[in-house]
Amino acid sequence: MLFTCGEDGCVYVFEIRNKSRLLSIRQSGGAEGSEEDEELPYSEEVLMTKTALDEKQHQRKDLRRQVEELANQTDYQLRHRDSYHAERIAALEGKFEKSLQEQRDKYEMLREEKDDVQGEYERKIRDLLETQKSELQEQEIAYQEKIVAQVTKCQQLAQQRHEDRRQWKQMHQSLLDMHENKVVELRQQYQEQEARDRLHKQRVDDEKALAIKVIGSSQLSPDGSIES
């Protein structure tokens, strides 16, 4: 007997006989019971279409490809973020150093000008000494205020750099968590697909076993054919 099962759930039963042997038995008038000794042995085969097998393999390859693409994309984003923040920090540091050096040069230049003017006017105009001194003091106060303002600005830039670094670390951790969650989700989908495949195979095995059990309990008809 040959048992087959289609995708629609139908089970087909085919009876296979050795026609040449049956013909010789009938011509020789042999006993009908001898046909039972010549029946072909049972064989157990689980048939699966190549299309279904290719589809399962394609699904597994697609899941592996998605995991690799996600890992590559996350790695690229992390490298891009690192490069971006490194360039920004370098730019801020360069701007800070340049601004500070300019202020130092300007301050030194003004101090030199002050000394030159002070020496010249001390020799020429003694009566303007107090006025000049007052003006110089006002200038020094103004320059000190500028320096304080620049120091405050530098501190703000340092705080901003610290905040940028903190945000980058937070974003980096968020990307890592997102990647881990996506990998877990894909792994779970893969495991669920394998569970469905095992369930489908178990159902096919159960149907096959039931069919074999039904055939095993069949009886021979008077003409030697099998009846359920």
Residue 130, domain member (yes or no): yes
Residue 25 lies in a domain: no
203: containing domain: 44-227
pLDDT tens digit sequence for 120-147: 767 777 777 787 788 888 889 999 999 9
Residue with tokens 């891009």: 80
pLDDT at 43 over 70: no
Place of tokens 């703000």: 156
Lowest mean pLDDT among 52-56, 80-84, 207-211: 52-56
CB 5 within 8 A of CB 207: yes
Asked if residue 164 is part of any domain, the answer here is yes
Residue 204 counted as domain residue: yes
What pLDDT does 147 receive?
A: 92
Residue 156: inside a domain? yes
Structural domain contains residue 5: no
User: pTM of the predicted model, to two decimals?
Assistant: 0.27
For residue 188, the one-letter residue type is Q
Three-state secondary structure along 2-16? EEEECCCCCEEEECC
Residue 14 belongs to a domain: no
Q: What are the pLDDT digits (tens) for 162-203?
A: 999 999 999 988 888 998 899 998 999 999 998 989 998 998
Assess if residue 195 is contained within a domain.
Answer: yes
What is the per-residue pLDDT for 144?
92
User: How many domains, in total, are found in the chain?
Assistant: 1
